[in-house]
Amino acid sequence: MKKTMAALLAATTLAGVAQAQEAQKVFFLLPNSTTIRFESRDAPFFVEAMKARAPNVEVIVQNGEGDPARQQRLVEDAITQGADIILLTTSDANLAAGSLAAAEAAGVPVVLYDHDAVGGRAEAHVVFDSLSVGQAQGSRAAELIIAMDKTPVRVARVKGNQGEYGTGQYEAGQNEFLQPLIDSGKVVVVCEQYTQNWDPMLAQSFAEDCLTRTGGDVDVFLGMNDGTTGGSVAALIGQGYAPGEKLVTGGQDATVEALRYIALGWQDNSVLKDLKVEANYAADVVTSILAGGGVPQNLINGHVNNQFMDVPGVFLPVSNITIENLSDVVDAGVWTWEEICQGIEDTDVCTENM
């Protein structure tokens, strides 16, 4: 009996040690595969940043594939698997309240990454300053439109996912520069539409329909990210236009595909959001929460109201990338010239820099 009790005590002790040594778990839940930056850049950058800060923390990356219901199941599954924290980029900000409620009920903190989430608790929101993004897009579009020797300039607006904080801020920032041109008669908006879940295929369909309905009488396609601008470029290619024949502007994320479009003359700009910086700040917030320190107060420089609370914001700076300063992306370590110029080595900018 004594031997049995000793064995039982030893087993219990070993189980307690194993439980104490069990790695903390961070689930990074991505929104979709159509916005390619999240799987190809953000997730690897975040995993790398976490290894540097907390090598014993396990990071599990999963993708909602553009389906809010699937993403909520992933949140619930993460909770079941013992998640210590969830880093969440919502598939649809407007349909994320259930995920936030489930996490709060389970006592699992949620940090929002890039996309917002409406109607529930979050510890922090790490995001590039969305209003500044819209202002950068709007100021560049206005600069190009004013330089056009025609009035009115006919503009198609390809907006982001309706109801998201980011989309609203991008629109507000763009409008600061676009609305005065509309009021003066310099600009006429001939088509405009939100793009559900930022789907580039939907953006392409809208651009194609706009070209058809106007008989091709569109001068500018103004998007809100590289997916929506890429949709416009795809529509122009599909209908036989040449690079530069129609102006495509309003990109953001500096995806390698968008940078190639810039090099080729299809797209004018993309707002650079250094994703390695965003991933590193997210890792700073996550490791601090895991260590019991909460969100580092020195990183909070604003708030995002998500109709439930003012979520502490960690806002990051942005800058415009055009053909004139394409090298800034390389200098920042976001992409190499080899990556940007793959398949387009004979363009002028690639010939100069390869």
Q: Among 3.40.50.2300, 3.30.565.10, 3.40.190.10, 1.10.1270.20, what is the CATH number of 11-129+274-317?
A: 3.40.50.2300
| Residue 154 phi, psi (nearest 5) | -95, 120
- 287-335 pLDDT, tens per residue? 999 999 999 999 999 999 999 999 999 999 899 999 999 999 999 888 9
Pick the closest to residue 172 from 213, 208, 136 (CA basis).
136
Closest by CA position to 317, among listed 161, 141, 131: 131
Same fold, 11-129+274-317 and 130-273+320-353: yes
Ordered by start, the domain boundaries in the chain are 11-129+274-317, 130-273+320-353
pLDDT digits (tens, 9 = 90+) for 232-259: 999 999 999 999 999 999 999 999 999 9
Q: Which residues pair with 169 in a beta bridge?
A: none
Structure tokens at 141: 């579009």
Residue 56's CB is within 10 A of a number of other CB atoms, namely 10
The pLDDT of residue 21: 57
Alpha carbon 343 to its chain's center: 26
Q: Give the pLDDT confidence of 53-111 residue by residue, as tens digits.
A: 999 999 999 999 999 999 999 999 999 999 999 999 999 999 999 999 999 999 999 99
Would you give the DSSP letter of residue 58?
Answer: E
For domain 130-273+320-353, give the CATH superfamily.
Response regulator (3.40.50.2300)
pTM: 0.76
Give residue 152's identity as a one-letter amino acid code.
P
The per-residue pLDDT of the chain, averaged, comes to 93
Tell me the per-residue pLDDT of 182-191, one tens digit each, with 9 for 90 and over: 999 999 999 9
Provide mean pLDDT across the span 124-133. 94
| Integer CA distances (angstroms), 313 to 41, 109, 115, 287, 297, in order | 22, 15, 12, 17, 10
Per DSSP, the three-state class of 215 is: coil
Contact call for residues 235 and 211 (beta carbons, < 8 A)? yes
